[in-house]
Amino acid sequence: MTTDHALLASWRDTPARQVIVDYVDRAVQEGGAQYVPPSERIAVFDNDGTLWCEKPMPVELGFILQQLAETAEQDSSLRAQQPWQAARDKDYAWLGDMITKHYHGDDSDLKVLLDGILQTFADMSVDTYAEIAERFLRTARHPMLGRLLRECTYVPMVELLRYLEAYGFTTYIASGGDRDFMRPITEEVYGIPAERVIGSSAGLRYRGDDTGGSIVYEAKMDGFDDGPMKPVRIWSRTGRRPVVAGGNSNGDVPMLRYAGRPSRPGLRLLILHDDEEREFSYTAGAEASLEQARTQDWTVVSIKNDWATVFADKVRDD
C-alpha cells in the first residue's frame, strides 16, 4: 500500500525521503516480504541534535549552568570550585575544553561537572525538579536563533513522528541527556508522553511520609544513556528490538546498529548538520557515526538538502 506521504510536508522530495516512505509503505504491507507486525513497530530517536537543536550547547547544559550559578550565589564556598565557578563566571572556555576532552576520551572534567550536578540536585523530589525544568523550558531563549528553546524542534522530525504513529509505530525518545529534564515538555513539543521518554537518570529513592511520600534524587548516577547503554535501556523499557532508529552522533551508533536485523531489516537515519544558514554545520562528535552510515546502509539526512523547513514559525518575533 501507499502511505500518506503528504504527512512529511516539510521534507523535500529527495532520496532520503524516498527511503523513509518506501520503508513504511512496505512495513505496513500485509503479506509483503518486509511486513512488520504492529507489535514490532518500535521507533526510537535520540533527542539533542536529532529532534531539536543542540548548538551552541545542549539545552540541558544551559539549564544546569543556570542552576549551578544560582547555587553558587547562595553558597559562597562553592564559587572557587568547579563546576560552580565556570557556571557563575560563564567560563565557556572551561566548558569548551571539557567537551573537546570528552571527544578525545578524557572525561575528567565531565566527571567534575556531573558530580557538581548530582550534588546540586541530591534530595530534591522529582516533582520539584520537574517544576524547575519546565519553568526553564517554557521561558528560556536560544542565544543565537532568536526564538524560544522549545521552538528549536525540527519540524520535519516531528512530522516523521506523526507519520510513523499514523501507521502503527510506537515512538520513543532515547536521549543521552537527562530523562527527567525533558519529560515535562515532550508531550507538548513532540507529542511523546513521559512514559515514552528514555534517557540518562540519576539514582532515585523513595522517601515515605504520611501523604504518599515522594521520589527523590540521590547523589549518584543510575545510568548514563549513551553508546552501548542506549540499546540496553531501550530494551529494558520496551521489551522489544526497535526497527526504526534516528540519531546524529557517535553515541547513537550502537542504537542504530541494534535497530533491525537481517530477518527484519530496519530503517536507520543519521541527521547530518550541514546547514550553517538555517541551523549549524558541524560533524565533531559524529565522525564514527558518519563512517558507519557509509558501511552499514544507514540513511544520512542532510538538513540542508532534505528539509524544506527546519524550524516552525516563531510564536513572536524579537
Classify strands 267-274 and 244-247 as parallel, antiparallel or unpaired. Answer: parallel
- What span, in angstroms and rounded, lies between the C-alpha atoms of 15 and 21? 10
Instruction: Tell me the DSSP string of 195-264.
Output: GGEEEEEEEEEEE--TT--EEEEEEEEEE--STTHHHHHHHHHHSS--SEEEE-SGGGHHHHHHS-BTTB
To which residue does cell 515515605 refer?
208
Answer yes or no: are the C-beta atoms of 201 and 222 closer than 8 Å. yes
- What span, in angstroms and rounded, lies between the C-alpha atoms of 186 and 165? 15
3-class SS at 300? strand
Taking CB under 8 A as the criterion, the residue among 32, 143, 191, 193 binding a copy of itself is: 193
Site string for a copy of itself, 60-79 (x = CB under 8 A): --------------------
Taking CB under 8 A as the criterion, the residue among 81, 139, 236, 283 binding a copy of itself is: 236
Taking CB under 8 A as the criterion, the residue among 208, 277, 294, 317 binding a copy of itself is: 208
Between 105 and 208, name the residue whose CB sits nearer to a copy of itself: 208
With contacts defined by CB under 8 A, how many residues of the chain interact with a copy of itself? 41
- The answer to whether residue 261 forms part of the interface with a copy of itself (CB under 8 A) is yes
Q: How many CA atoms lie within 13 A of 48 on its CB side?
A: 25
- Residue 32 C-beta: closest distance to a copy of itself, Å: 21
| Cell output for 135 | 519553568
- The answer to whether residue 257 forms part of the interface with a copy of itself (CB under 8 A) is yes
- The answer to whether residue 241 forms part of the interface with a copy of itself (CB under 8 A) is yes
Site string for a copy of itself, 148-187 (x = CB under 8 A): ----------------------x--------xx--x---x
Taking CB under 8 A as the criterion, the residue among 20, 161, 229, 303 binding a copy of itself is: 229
Binding site for a copy of itself (CB under 8 A): 39, 126, 170, 179-180, 183, 187, 193-195, 197, 201, 204-206, 208, 211-213, 215, 222, 228-232, 235-241, 254, 257-262, 266
